[in-house]
């Protein structure tokens, strides 16, 4: 199985900050990597697919990039709505696997 | 508007069974692969199972293989998860999620239901 390792587990930041979350795959997943945002008590919401493609309706302050087996999610200027938990997911091969999550909270 | 609505969750004793359903509307169900994802209380997301458009290909996480069965009814636009031999560690919110298909071939999960809670406890 492909292991997805996210870092950090928790990130404290302020409104307006630029933040980056990293996800590393244990083997190649090509570009088959998605990022999701989940607010408490809600279903996850797709932000980025195919490593760097922005899902329709997602604000442009969210972006994704890839270098080999390392993937990053960047939020360019944090807004109050962005304080949530973020997950990466590989869908290159079954079993599809998620990272353990990064909780973004207010500093 | 795309909607996925799960039902069938509840309290069940260890060793018991439960059948979850996911009713879908707003897109051509038969054109898409479908998935179940779960989230234990206070924990992260865990992919559980997937089924292809026609139902011929099914995939499972190792943790549920041999106990859970995924199925779909393309006439009723519904996805199912039959859960047998339930364990305490199966306690979670279960989400159905749309995978890849036509005209959106990417296998990311672009639509999710609101989830249904399964509690396994004596």
Nearest CA in chain A to B117: A41
pLDDT at B19 over 90: yes
Full strand arrangement of the beta sheet holding A62-67? A4-7, A19-25, A70-75, A62-67
pLDDT at B102 over 90: no
Pick the range with the lowest mean pLDDT from B17-21, B35-39, B102-106: B102-106
Is residue B53 within 8 A of residue B31, CB to CB? The reply is yes
3-state DSSP call for residue A80? helix
Q: Which residues of B3-41 are buried (b: 16+ CB within 10 A; e: fewer)?
A: ebebebbeebeeeeebebbbbbeebebeebbbbbbbbee
Q: What value does the mean pLDDT take over residues A2-19?
A: 97
C-alpha–C-alpha distance, residues B44 and A97, integer Å: 11
Q: What pLDDT sits at residue B39?
A: 98
Is residue B65 within 8 A of residue B116, CB to CB? The reply is no
Place of tokens 């549920």: B64
Interface size, chain A vs chain B, as Cβ–Cβ contacts under 8 Å: 56
Q: What pLDDT sits at residue B104?
A: 75
Q: What value does the mean pLDDT take over residues B26-46?
A: 97
* Chain A contacts to B (CB-CB under 8 A): 1, 32, 34, 36, 38, 43-46, 49-50, 55, 87, 89, 91, 94-101
DSSP states along B72-104: EETTTTEEEEEE-S--GGG-EEEEEEEEEESS-
Nearest CA in chain B to A92: B107
C-alpha–C-alpha distance, residues A94 and B86, integer Å: 23
Q: What pLDDT sits at residue A70?
A: 98
- Subunit contact A44:B112, Cβ cutoff 8 A: yes
Contacts with B95 from chain A: Cβ below 8 Å: 43-44
**B1 inside 8 A of chain A by CB:** no
Tokens representing B27 are 């897109």
Which tens digit of pLDDT belongs to each residue from A29-87? Answer: 999 999 999 999 999 999 999 999 999 999 999 999 999 999 999 999 999 999 999 99
Q: What value does the mean pLDDT take over residues B27-52?
A: 97
Banded model confidence at residue B101, pLDDT cuts 50, 70, 90: confident
Place of tokens 């897109």: B27
Is residue B114 within 8 A of residue B2, CB to CB? The reply is no
pLDDT at B105 over 80: no
Q: What pLDDT sits at residue B83?
A: 98
Which bin fits B75, alpha (ψ -120 to 50), beta or left (φ > 0)? alpha
C-alpha–C-alpha distance, residues A85 and A98, integer Å: 13
């Amino acid at each position: 199985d492909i292991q997805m390792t996210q870092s950090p587990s928790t990130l404290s930041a302020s409104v307006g900050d630029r933040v980056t979350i990293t996800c590393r795959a244990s083997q190649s997943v090509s570009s088959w990597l998605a990022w999701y945002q989940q607010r408490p008590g809600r279903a996850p919401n797709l932000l980025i697919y195919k490593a760097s493609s922005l899902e329709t309706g997602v604000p442009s302050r969210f972006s994704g990039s890839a270098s080999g087996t390392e993937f990053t999610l960047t939020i360019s200027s944090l807004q109050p709505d962005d304080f949530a938990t973020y997950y990466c997911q590989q869908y290159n091969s079954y079993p599809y696997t998620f990272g353990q999550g990064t909780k973004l909270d207010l500093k | 508007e795309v909607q996925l609505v799960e039902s069938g969750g509840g309290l069940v004793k260890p060793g018991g069974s439960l059948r979850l359903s996911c009713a879908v509307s707003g897109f051509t169900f038969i054109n898409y692969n479908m998935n179940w994802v779960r989230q234990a209380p206070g924990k992260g997301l865990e992919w559980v199972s997937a089924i292809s458009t026609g139902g011929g290909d099914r995939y499972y996480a190792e943790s549920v293989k041999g106990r859970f069965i995924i199925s779909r009814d393309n006439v009723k636009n519904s996805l199912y998860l039959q859960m047998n031999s339930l364990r305490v560690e199966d306690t979670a919110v279960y989400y159905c999620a749309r995978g890849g298909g036509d005209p959106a071939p990417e296998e990311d999960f672009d639509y999710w239901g609101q989830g249904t809670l399964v509690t396994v406890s004596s």
